[in-house]
């Protein structure tokens, strides 16, 4: 088997709060193979973005800290690297596309300067060479009239174009891994599809791996090879994307799928919302975090924490009731 490009093992990230220390990511493990697209899915507060920031060493300290785990990237443990070493990794071998480009782009610098900066910093290129590289990158992400757009400001770009500029920045140094955190938030449906198609095409073309963080299981079906479902800071199901859609095993995953409109033969089925609210990470129940919202939960579910285990060779889930029927 091919060695994973990224291997996360037992990652636990905690934050100090007025209510005590909160575990935002709890014993999370998953692998990303070379060229693979892995989707991390869950509601707000499930730990998706904190997992991504932990991988990149961007957890603010204090109040946050990585309490346990290993993050092996190309065989090196990122958690053992100094900040200086991590700076050489970020934007070069691992790049991130943040959720809201208007908050990530500097409003006082032209797009060309911002897209060219990683090339200048990591490849030690001159500014003329970096700007020429930036022009080529803007063309690659299909921004029209790239030579002219190079010298314009972020506020002169539409939302979709700003996200394309963020993708251009991420691709600047040909990274091995790209992390995209909700890359289509606040974009209309047509532009969302264009951005995701572009990301998939570019990662396929460059051979880069992609971690796609999203709350939308509809996105996952088309773009991901593997899915990691998170709830309450924990991984509760993990499987190849097609298998997860065909045979969802955790009640939470089933609930997510039941709440997504379908365009296949089951399109006429009624959408079923998941009752209740996501858990309070500062006051998680003693057993399964999903038990208060789960129609299958029994007494054991409310007292015993389910561990992630194999349902089949490539399908993991954390549920005490392997054969689901309402309790």
Residue recorded with tokens 């007025």: 18
- The DSSP output letter for 90 is B
Beta strands 177-181 and 94-97 are parallel
The domain segmentation of the chain, as residue ranges, is 6-93+175-317
Domain 6-93+175-317 has CATH 3.40.50.300: yes
Interatomic CA distance for residues 297 and 320, integer angstroms: 9
Q: Which long-range contacts (CB under 8 A, 24 or more apart) does 285-292 make?
A: 288/318, 288/319, 288/320, 289/231, 289/232, 289/233, 289/234, 290/231, 290/232, 290/236, 290/250, 290/251, 290/252
Per-residue pLDDT 10s for the chain (327 aa) are 679 999 999 999 999 999 999 999 999 999 999 999 999 999 989 999 999 999 999 999 999 999 999 999 999 999 999 999 999 999 999 999 988 777 889 999 999 999 999 999 999 999 999 999 999 999 999 999 999 999 999 999 999 999 999 999 999 999 999 999 998 877 888 888 899 999 999 999 999 999 999 988 878 888 999 999 999 999 999 999 999 999 999 999 999 988 776 655 455 566 677 888 899 999 999 999 999 999 899 999 999 999 999 988 899 999 998 765 554
pTM of the model: 0.93
Of 125, 211, 109, residue with least CA distance to 170: 211
3-state helix, strand, coil in the chain (%, to 5): 35, 25, 40
């Amino acid at each position: 088997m091919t060695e994973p490009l990224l291997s996360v093992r037992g990652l636990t990230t905690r934050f100090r709060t007025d209510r005590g220390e909160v575990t935002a990511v709890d014993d999370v493990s998953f692998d990303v193979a070379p060229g693979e697209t892995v989707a991390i899915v869950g509601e707000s507060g499930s730990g998706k973005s904190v997992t991504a920031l932990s991988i990149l060493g961007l957890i603010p300290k204090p109040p946050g800290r990585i309490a346990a785990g290993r993050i092996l990237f190309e065989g090196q443990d990122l958690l053992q690297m100094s900040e200086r070493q991590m700076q050489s990794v970020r934007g070069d071998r691992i790049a991130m596309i943040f959720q809201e480009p208007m908050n990530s782009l500097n409003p006082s610098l032209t797009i060309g300067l911002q897209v060219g900066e990683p090339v200048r910093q990591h490849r030690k290129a001159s500014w003329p060479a970096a700007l020429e590289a930036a022009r080529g990158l803007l063309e690659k992400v299909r921004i029209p009239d790239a030579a002219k757009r190079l010298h314009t400001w972020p506020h002169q770009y539409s939302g979709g174009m700003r996200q394309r500029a963020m993708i251009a920045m991420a691709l600047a140094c040909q990274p091995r891994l790209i992390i995209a955190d909700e890359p289509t938030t606040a974009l209309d449906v047509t532009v969302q599809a264009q951005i995701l198609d572009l990301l998939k095409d570019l990662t396929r073309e460059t051979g880069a791996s992609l971690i796609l963080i999203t709350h939308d299981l509809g996105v996952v079906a088309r773009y991901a090879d593997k899915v990691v479902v998170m709830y309450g800071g924990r991984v509760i199901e993990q499987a190849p994307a097609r298998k997860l859609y065909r045979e969802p095993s955790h009640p939470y995953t089933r609930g997510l799928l039941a709440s997504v409109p379908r365009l296949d033969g089951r399109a006429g089925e009624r959408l079923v919302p998941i009752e209740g609210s996501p858990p309070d990470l500062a006051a998680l129940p003693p057993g399964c975090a999903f038990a208060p919202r789960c129609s299958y939960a029994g007494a054991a579910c409310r007292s015993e924490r389910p561990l992630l285990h194999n349902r089949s060779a490539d399908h993991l889930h954390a549920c005490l009731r392997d054969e689901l029927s309402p309790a």
